[in-house]
Structure 1
Amino acid sequence: MPKSQSPGTRRGLFSCLHSECDDGGNSGFQGKGIAEALEDLIASFYAEAFDRLPFDGMGDEQVQELLRAMCGGGVCVGLLDPVSNIILNTISALPRDFQPKPHPRHQRRSKRLAGAAQPDWILSGISSLSYCSLVTFLVSYFGCLTDQQAARYLLWASANLSIAVLLVEHDLYAAEPQLPNPASERTQAALKCAATRGRHREPDVLVLLHTSPLPCQRLKAAAPFLGSGGRNLTLDDVNTVIESLRYQESASLDLQVNLLPDRRGVIVYCREFNAYEGKLIFNTSSVNIGGSFGVFSIMAQREGDHFASLLGNVSSISTFLDKAFKTFQGHSGLKSCGDACEYTESLRMRLHGTIHALYLKAFTMLPSHVSTYRLMRYILFAGHCYGPMDPVSNIIINSIWHSIEFPLPSANSESQPYDILDTLSMLRVEARSLRGLIALVQANSGCSVQRTMEHLCSNCCDLSQAMHTPRGFAAAAKAAQHPQEAALGLFLSSLKPHILDKLRPLLSTTNGTLSFESLNQVECILAQEFREIALQFAFAPEEAELCQVAKDTLLIRRSEYKDLRLFIRSELAKVLKKYAREHPHEPKYVPSVICGVVETYYSDRDSYHVNFVAASESAGAADNQLFFAEINVPCHQSKPNFCRPLCLTHTGRCYYGPASSIKIMYPASFDYFECDITGRGIMHADRMLDADFVFDFRRDKQFAKDAVKYCEDQKALSELNAV
């Protein structure tokens, strides 16, 4: 369990110093506000970049062209140091036919008099845009920071995005803080968001510049003038960057395919790579798609590295920690942070993202068998993730135990999956699980909420190695509002080591999916070992009595659920067939369980964004796979429906806040970075939900009362809309 820590050794200093948590440091850095100090720092970088660019070697027209490029595209965003980013982005914003030409020697003049536009009065404007761009990158990249937090991290990192990312990951207890990977979709999407916010003329060009590989020879040529403390640029250096950008942009021409008129053949044009530039990879295989077909693939693979490789070694953050600790020692007013602290809220959202991924993992582990479909209801109702095992095993164990001892009324046909079409129902069990985890840690340690959440972040919510007490489990079940809190506390306390030793092998998997037989054995063990607990809390099944309005609402909600479920499932089957045609080397998938649907409105269409688990058509051939799908409403088919697999390794952008949330897991794409934050967050999760009618949670003692209140609210809302 977490030990007590002094503020000087705690994490979160980068976020809390000079914030509202810091009574002694509200004046900011050098007496300035954070935004003002950061903009002044960025302005100094522009002045240095201006001095290093070869303005004094160009003619008047080219000077003006370079100044326009700096104003329109020279944002301080990228994966190098800030000055190098400005230089690189400025040159990349020049026209493609730009050819730097030396100015006649007798007409050379001072850089500060270059052309009519003076840099001193335009620096403030582009510095402000770069400030917004840098903040946008961090907020987009992590998804759980405020703009003010991002600005503080950037100021600690001297506006270096790569270092700022390391500082945030350090504070959020990443297993191993990693620099932004130029090849990852997450980094590329955040760069495009930042470039767009900075009003860059061509955001895609900036992304291409920083994330496309270059041969080592080209990078070696750029190393002397790109990087912290690099030399002033010559006209030849400008040409070097322009040629590198042209090389990056030509990647689309590496392979070109023309279909012959008789459709009996194709002509493929392949770039002839030099040994240091790349290679062509040829592959031939046979697959069975309604018959035997040969698949021939040619892949152009460029060799090299990214401009970010010129940044040097910044993996150590000890220097920045020392600076923060020294600043703390000079401030006597850093308060103990509570729930209102931005850092505490970031930890909370990070944990919600982690817990959401744990539930998605649990869904992917369930076998596609009719007898396991009913378990979905119990996961949503009582499948909390705290207990003596790892979180995913706890979810499954707690759900199976509840299904044995406290069975719910049958709502649908047991042969049909219980698809989650209401994301708030999943949010509710996740939010309650977090409360239970916090209570479990605090019961055995007495730590603050913030320190407890730091402990949970550092362990990815896994408390299986901790020492637990019956008092701790009872406190967790009560804090989490478990429907059978006393029984659950006793059950978790009764999971002795010899029982856990029986359960662990059954809940471990080599291929990612549990077998139906293993779950059956788990159910048998729990039924045999805990008969006495069931007898202590046995009661006659009683369903909550509903008023007529609530009964009518139940029928309406079930009908709406059925219609939407049939539509989504039919469309998912279609997009999976389309995916199989486009990826013949992968298994053929069929929809298994839907675990989140969000209705989205674009300017040209209405769509549903869906997370779902798909199972291989061939039993045992592959793991279940989590997918994202975009399904357009039939009358708005301006864009084809599609699906793509998701990886559960990154959960940073799947979080929940008090009033807003990212309710499903999205691909790390710019297309979704701006639209994936939706209304109705945690504050709505404990109310009556549509899913409560659909899944028929009438065993809950609050169900009848909440159902009546829900119907009254819906009636009042309808009357208000009518007026």
Structure 2
Amino acid sequence: MHGKPLRRIGEDCPDLATHKSVRQDICILLDRIHGFYESALERLPAERIPSLTTRLLKAGVCFGFLDPVSNIINTISYTPSPEDKIKEEEEIISKVRTNTKDELIFHIPLYPGTVDSMTVARRSLEGLVTFLCFQYRYLEKTEALRYLRLAGGDLLAAVGLLEQDRNRSPEEPVFNIMSPTTKIALECAALSARHPKPAVLVGVSLSLMSRTVKVSKILGAHCCLPSAAVKPLAKPLRASIDLGADRKKKRKRGELTPRNTESVEWRPGMDGTFRHTQTLKLLLLGRIHGFYLEALALLPRDGLRKLHHCSLIKGGYCYGPMDPVSNIILNTLWYGTAFPTH
């Protein structure tokens, strides 16, 4: 029988291949996240405080600035209503685990009408992806999934991988966890995960990190900790936040430093490779726009309006033997000299 040779599934079908890759990433990440919840349940004193299990199902998301298990414990800020039934641990595990046969869980992002019906594990994954896409400019949701998979579902580890890949120059400002950008990204993550009290989650996470920063500075300033440093060190370590009306908890410390950005929306028909290439193009365009803004600031205002504006548009390229900003200025002046505008 003569005809076209058979193709493997996904070959020459980038959308199909990408969809299969996304499904695999989501399944692996959910399996890892389920393990975080099992560890969190082992740490929680659910026998003494049965309402903690209900709080975990409602508000125990695994994203934040600590390790995933500590994040789950620290974000149980929901005060259950009287009609909320207290559940047994076995029942909790069954409600945390996500059914991977449900096709709705593989949509990135989730459909707005289905988010509330998802398990807390799947909503946590939604929050993780949302944080990375709001924090890192032009990051695709499928790329965010891949970084999270490589990081084992740990948000700060994924941030570290992104920092290494983007490899920004040492002169650029280091990301500050207390910055407005991070606060907005975390709040958006909480909203996408349907956390009942997003403002509380953000406040708790940032407050914990502010204490971590203080402790790190004290420890970093001394190779051998003197007795004089013990007193200021004890204060942030003893400080705690009232997450519920009836309890306080100790928390672990975490660290890492990300940096700035937003996301680009996926459009139907864009295959995975093209979307990642598009991300790189947009990042480069953003950098080049910055070079032109610097060059405009260095050119004399009157000269720019009367003489250089046409030369800049026609011949002010950023490539050449010098740095990009100097190249823009030199090419603009050369073009204006070689081809004067009448």
TM-score by length of 1: 0.33
User: What is aligned with 2:39?
Assistant: 48
User: What is aligned with 1:351?
Assistant: 284
Q: Deviations over 1:101-159 (max 9, x none)?
A: xxxxxxxxx9626xxx6342244311111111101111111122211110110011111
User: What is aligned with 1:75?
Assistant: 61
SS of 1:359's equivalent in the other structure is helix
1:118 equivalenced with 2:92 (yes/no) = yes
Residues 402 and 157 (structure 1 numbering): CA distance in 2 closer, same or farther, change over 3 Å? same
Is this contact kept in 2: 1:141–1:186, CA < 8 A? yes
Residues 354 and 179 (structure 1 numbering): CA distance in 2 closer, same or farther, change over 3 Å? closer
User: What is aligned with 1:197?
Assistant: 192
Among 234, 238, 243, which residue is 1:217 paired with? 234
User: What is aligned with 2:203?
Assistant: 208
Identity level (%): 33
Among 16, 20, 27, which residue is 1:36 paired with? 27
**CA distance in structure 2 between the aligned counterparts of 1:151 and 1:35, rounded to whole angstroms:** 7
SS of 2:188's equivalent in the other structure is helix
1:137 equivalenced with 2:131 (yes/no) = yes
Residues 339 and 132 (structure 1 numbering): CA distance in 2 closer, same or farther, change over 3 Å? closer
Q: Deviations over 1:506-561 (max 9, x none)?
A: xxxxxxxxxxxxxxxxxxxxxxxxxxxxxxxxxxxxxxxxxxxxxxxxxxxxxxxx
Among 328, 334, 342, which residue is 1:395 paired with? 328
**CA distance in structure 2 between the aligned counterparts of 1:382 and 1:194, rounded to whole angstroms:** 44
Is this contact kept in 2: 1:188–1:207, CA < 8 A? yes
SS of 1:380's equivalent in the other structure is helix
- CA shift, 1:397, in A, is 1.1
Is this contact kept in 1: 2:127–2:189, CA < 8 A? yes
Among 349, 361, 370, which residue is 2:302 paired with? 370
Residues 194 and 392 (structure 1 numbering): CA distance in 2 closer, same or farther, change over 3 Å? same
Tell me, which stretches of 5 or more residues in structure 2 are unaligned? Answer: 1-13, 81-86, 99-118, 215-232, 259-270
Residues 219 and 203 (structure 1 numbering): CA distance in 2 closer, same or farther, change over 3 Å? same
Amino acid across the alignment from 1:156: L
Is this contact kept in 1: 2:62–2:69, CA < 8 A? yes
Among 170, 189, 195, which residue is 2:164 paired with? 170
Is this contact kept in 2: 1:386–1:394, CA < 8 A? yes
- By relative contact order (CA 8 Å, sep 6+), the higher-ranking structure is 2
Is this contact kept in 1: 2:295–2:328, CA < 8 A? yes
Is this contact kept in 2: 1:77–1:133, CA < 8 A? yes
**CA distance in structure 2 between the aligned counterparts of 1:112 and 1:141, rounded to whole angstroms:** 35
TM-score by length of 2: 0.66
**CA distance in structure 1 between the aligned counterparts of 2:254 and 2:200, rounded to whole angstroms:** 20
Residues 383 and 84 (structure 1 numbering): CA distance in 2 closer, same or farther, change over 3 Å? same
1:380 equivalenced with 2:313 (yes/no) = yes
Q: Deviations over 1:297-321 (max 9, x none)?
A: xxxxxxxxxx78x125899xxxxxx
User: What is aligned with 1:541?
Assistant: none
Is this contact kept in 1: 2:299–2:329, CA < 8 A? no
**CA distance in structure 2 between the aligned counterparts of 1:94 and 1:218, rounded to whole angstroms:** 28
Residues 205 and 362 (structure 1 numbering): CA distance in 2 closer, same or farther, change over 3 Å? farther
**CA distance in structure 1 between the aligned counterparts of 2:206 and 2:313, rounded to whole angstroms:** 41
- CA shift, 1:27, in A, is 7.0
RMSD: 3.7
Residues 144 and 312 (structure 1 numbering): CA distance in 2 closer, same or farther, change over 3 Å? closer
SS of 2:194's equivalent in the other structure is coil
Amino acid across the alignment from 2:155: L
- CA shift, 1:218, in A, is 5.5
SS of 1:385's equivalent in the other structure is coil
Residues 153 and 218 (structure 1 numbering): CA distance in 2 closer, same or farther, change over 3 Å? farther
SS of 2:75's equivalent in the other structure is helix
Is this contact kept in 1: 2:37–2:96, CA < 8 A? no
Is this contact kept in 2: 1:78–1:161, CA < 8 A? yes
- CA shift, 1:36, in A, is 1.3
Q: Deviations over 1:349-405 (max 9, x none)?
A: 2211111111111222234x4223232343233211001111001111111222222
Tell me, which stretches of 5 or more residues in structure 1 are unaligned? Answer: 1-19, 96-109, 224-234, 242-306, 316-337, 410-723
- CA shift, 1:75, in A, is 1.5
User: What is aligned with 1:8?
Assistant: none
Is this contact kept in 1: 2:318–2:328, CA < 8 A? yes
Amino acid across the alignment from 1:372: L
Is this contact kept in 2: 1:163–1:179, CA < 8 A? no
Is this contact kept in 2: 1:165–1:180, CA < 8 A? no
Is this contact kept in 1: 2:67–2:254, CA < 8 A? yes
- CA shift, 1:210, in A, is 1.7
Is this contact kept in 2: 1:71–1:126, CA < 8 A? yes
Amino acid across the alignment from 2:311: Y
Amino acid across the alignment from 1:202: K
